[in-house]
């Protein structure tokens, strides 16, 4: 009986060991530069490793696992693993995140797991810090260069008398602005405010349609840093109304 039990345990151990492989690859930036110190997380096993100075990593896993890549200053990226990824390198590109104001204070270091990070964050301090940073920024005078046209951008000529060139069409509509704001702020910005990913675009349209001034943005197809901070301020003022049934 003991021999049969030992044989059964040995068989189970062999099957488990064979099902576990190693996933290896490389993490680079948009400029194809190797990124060191990227945290790679296997969501199933919660194993965490960091890329070396050449951007390479190796982590245990198997087909069907999901890896998450986290690096300060870059947008978080996830990658599902299939059979082909076990025998070939997994190459990942990280996109830099837009950093407009100083990072908010957190209680603990980010782990890359949204559920854990949301519990560790201190919402009252975070919201207060964001409001303070916006208040300081909004009191500063904008430099003339902020509203100056970009190279190659069309500028409406200034004429005298009754001559008119007619109405100039807007370069953007609300959908263009919505897509820009979602990409510029990143998914994590809205998730930190408890807005589900599927509701992000609906929430942005809600802010735009409830009084957010965007005439010049749509006219010139250009968003300044001041415009982004105005939008963030509008988000903080109206998020409670949005979440009210």
Instruction: Return the CATH number at 55.
Output: 2.60.40.1120
Whether 80 has a pLDDT exceeding 70, the answer reads yes
The bridge status of strand 90-94 relative to strand 66-70 is unpaired
Give residue 16's region: left, alpha or beta (phi > 0; psi -120 to 50).
alpha
| pTM (global) more than 0.75 | no
pLDDT interval class at 19 (50, 70, 90): low
Same domain, 90 and 136: no
Q: Specify if 156 maps to a domain.
A: no
Give the C-alpha distances (Å, rounded to integers) separating 116 from 44, 51, 71, 79, 121.
15, 22, 17, 20, 9
pLDDT above 90 covers a percentage of the chain that reads: 47
Instruction: Summarize the confidence of residues 127-156 as an average pLDDT.
Output: 61
Closest CA to 44 of 24, 62, 65, 59: 65
- What range defines the domain where residue 34 resides? 21-94
Same domain, 141 and 171: yes
Overall domain count for the chain: 2
Per-residue pLDDT tens for 138-148? Answer: 666 555 555 55
């Amino acid at each position: 009986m003991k021999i049969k039990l030992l044989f059964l345990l040995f068989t189970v151990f062999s099957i488990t060991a064979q099902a576990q492989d190693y996933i290896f690859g490389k993490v680079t930036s948009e400029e194809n530069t190797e990124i060191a110190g990227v945290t790679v997380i296997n969501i199933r096993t919660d194993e965490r490793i960091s890329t070396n100075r050449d951007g390479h990593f190796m982590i245990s896993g198997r087909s069907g696992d999901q890896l998450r890549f986290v690096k300060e200053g870059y947008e978080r990226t996830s990658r599902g693993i299939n059979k082909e990824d076990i025998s070939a390198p997994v190459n990942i590109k990280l996109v830099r995140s837009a950093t407009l104001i100083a990072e908010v204070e957190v209680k603990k270091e980010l782990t890359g797991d949204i559920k854990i990070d949301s519990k560790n964050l201190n919402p009252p301090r975070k919201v207060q810090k964001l409001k303070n940073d916006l208040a300081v920024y909004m009191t500063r005078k904008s430099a003339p260069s902020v509203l100056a046209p970009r190279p190659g951008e069309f500028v409406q000529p200034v004429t005298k008398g009754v001559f008119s060139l007619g109405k100039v069409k807007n370069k953007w509509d609300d959908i263009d602005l919505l897509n820009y704001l979602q990409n510029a702020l990143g998914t994590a910005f809205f998730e930190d405010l408890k807005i589900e990913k599927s509701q992000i675009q609906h929430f942005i349209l809600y802010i735009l349609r409830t009084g957010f001034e965007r005439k010049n943005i749509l006219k010139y197809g250009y968003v300044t840093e001041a415009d982004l901070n105005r939008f963030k301020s509008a988000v903080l003022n109206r998020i409670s109304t949005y979440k009210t049934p």
